[in-house]
A and B are shown apart, each in its own frame.
Chain A
Amino acid sequence: GDSVTQMEGPVTLSEEAFLTINCTYTATGYPSLFWYVQYPGEGLQLLLKATKADDKGSNKGFEATYRKETTSFHLEKGSVQVSDSAVYFCALSDLLRSNDYKLSFGAGTTVTVRA
């Protein structure tokens, strides 16, 4: 079945450091890929998405590129801030397989940015 594997945390960084969170997926169809973020005490929010190979999603300084050849969707940010401290989830939906857009999530990566 469809699955998402993301790097385990926790990840602790200093402000202005470079952040990468690795995400790889397994899917039978042509999935759409997402990064969701959960800030402390808040609900899940969509951070960015990509719907086809080579698409780049971007938002709030974060970027991720849909790489079909490596089945990856790694999240990057060049200079993190304390406000980026959150749990990040990689996810996919595979309409071809499931006939709906239900999301399969990775385990989540906790990121803490220190001032």
Chain B
Amino acid sequence: GAGVSQSPSNKVTEKGKDVELRCDPISGHTALYWYRQSLGQGLEFLIYFQGNSAPDKSGLPSDRFSAERTGGSVSTLTIQRTQQEDSAVYLCASSFLGGAGEQYFGPGTRLTVT
């Protein structure tokens, strides 16, 4: 079946603008994760969804970052008033509940803030 998809694949925005990043998980996967991959910080966890609720938001770096998930499927990560330090690759992963929680990653969205 189809894997995790993300859009856009690349996004260039000006400092101060808002951006929305989309993730479409594997059908049937109830858990969804957002991570960020940057040169300085490596791979960092941002937020976890189980269904439509987000019981773990501990990785969101500031209140400019928010995310939602609707219908237990698509998720949107929103960054308001973008800053240059937000430049990174944003990765989405999904998994089914149970097992070892192995996660399947999307190709990522490369965000560049100019």
Contacts and interface: CB of A to CB of B under 8 A. Distances in A.
Given A43-B108, A100-B56, A107-B42, A93 B31 contact: no
Give me the 5 closest cross-chain CB pairs, A-B, nearest first: A101-B101, A105-B43, A44-B105, A43-B107, A32-B100
Contacts of A36: 105
Contacts of B108: 43
Interface residues of A, number: 25
A103 B31 contact: no
Contact of B102 (A34, A98, A104): A34
Interface of B: 31, 33, 35, 42-45, 48, 50, 55-56, 59, 91, 93, 95, 100-108
Given A49-B100, A89-B43, A101-B31, A42 B56 contact: no
Interface of A: 32, 34, 36, 42-46, 49, 51, 89, 91, 93, 95, 98-108
B8 to A, nearest CB: 15
B91 A108 contact: no
A114 B98 CA distance: 40
A43 B102 contact: no
B55 to A, nearest CB: 7
B3 to A, nearest CB: 8
A108 B108 CA distance: 17
